Amino acid sequence: MLESIGFIGAGRIAHIMLGGWRHASTQLPPVYVFDASAEALDALQAAFPQVHAASLAEVAGQALVFAALHPPVMGETLAQVALHLRPDALVVSLAPKLRLPALQERLGGFARVARMNPNAPAIIGAGFNPVAFSEGLPAQAREALLTLLAPLGVAPVVADELIETCAVISAMGPTYFWFQFEEVRRLAEHFGMDAPLARAALASMLHGAVDTLFASDLAPSRVMDLVPVRPLAEDEAAICAILQRRLGAIHARLTS
């Protein structure tokens, strides 16, 4: 069914998804990409030589169309996309804020739409990539999309109104921690570990820490009491306050 793929936007999300499929050695149908930035297109084709640069009309005419644009320009672009859609196409928005009814409206009533919120670990097949389907999307099309997304990680089906929350929690979530992980790795080397040992120690510790908190039968308070020394204890309340303030503000913007 999905015999061709179009990406409107050659930015980070296109790199992440194409990278994840390559990581899994997925055989993709032809991929066509439009971007107003020649530089962005060149960078994507340098990383993935198999993609074809195309006009917006050509990309909009593919079987599966990913709209990988920022919300401010999504609306006006979708009005142009609507002019070139195949009746059996599937349009998937990768942007927050514009929900399914609004997407359908901007596509002139086109009902075969979905929303997806990929996150960066999809580039190694470890993504959390929630999907919301419109009522007008048939079961066969839903299954075809989920099958295509499977190599990128898990793709739970969620309510449309949860996509913005997923954007804050899972899509942006790695940024809340990555810089801290990297700083601890740097300190490990500074304290005398060689690079392979530092990476192995951090990776094992982080995976184990996550599983202990979320996959054990222990209460969070008990988990956090397993280690007697907590060097950041005096700063934990301040860090939590920063998370509450920053994440609360961006969630409010996305859902307003």
Per-residue pLDDT tens over the stretch 16-45: 999 999 999 999 999 999 999 999 999 999
In this model, does residue 73 exceed pLDDT 90? no
| pLDDT of 188 above 80 | yes
Cα 5 to the chain's mean position, in Å?
17
Is residue 221 domain-resident? yes
Tell me the average pLDDT of the chain. 96
Domain that holds residue 62: 5-158
Task: Average the pLDDT over 58-65 and give the result.
Answer: 97
CATH number at residue 83: 3.40.50.720
For residue 248, what are the β-bridge partners?
A: none
Domain co-membership, 93 together with 139: yes
165 within domain boundaries: no
The number of helix segments (H) and strand segments (E) in the chain equals: 11, 9
pTM: 0.93
- Judge contact between 28 and 5, C-beta under 8 A: yes
Kindly state whether residues 146 and 219 are assigned to the same domain. no
132 plus 215 within the same structural domain = no
pLDDT at 168: 97
DSSP 8-state class, residue 73: H
Cα atoms in the 13 Å half-sphere on the side-chain side of 149: 26
Q: In terms of domains, do 141 and 17 share one?
A: yes
Pair 108, 136 in one domain: yes
What is the band of 76 on the pLDDT scale with cuts at 50, 70, 90?
Answer: confident
Q: Are residues 139 and 33 in the same domain?
A: yes
Are both 47 and 131 inside the same structural domain?
yes
**How many distinct structural domains can be found in the chain?**
2
- How high is the pLDDT of residue 14? 97
Query: Residue 167 falls within a domain, yes or no?
Result: no
Q: By CB neighbour count within 10 A (0-12 exposed, 13-18 middle, 19+ buried), where does 106 fall?
A: buried
Report which secondary-structure segment, H or E, holds 149: helix 139-149
Mark which of 124, 158, 192 sits at the end of a domain.
158
Same domain, residue pair 106 and 221: no
Q: Which two tokens stand for residue 199?
A: 């990476």
pLDDT band at 164 (very low <50, low <70, confident <90, very high): very high
Do 139 and 193 fall within a single domain? no
Reported residue count of the chain is 256
Is residue 80 assigned to a domain?
Answer: yes
> Per-residue pLDDT averaged across 191-219, rounded?
97
Residue 168 domain flag: no
Predicted pLDDT at 134: 97
| Residues 164, 254 contacting (CB under 8 angstroms) | yes
pLDDT digit string (tens) for 211-251?
A: 999 999 999 999 999 999 999 999 999 999 999 999 999 99
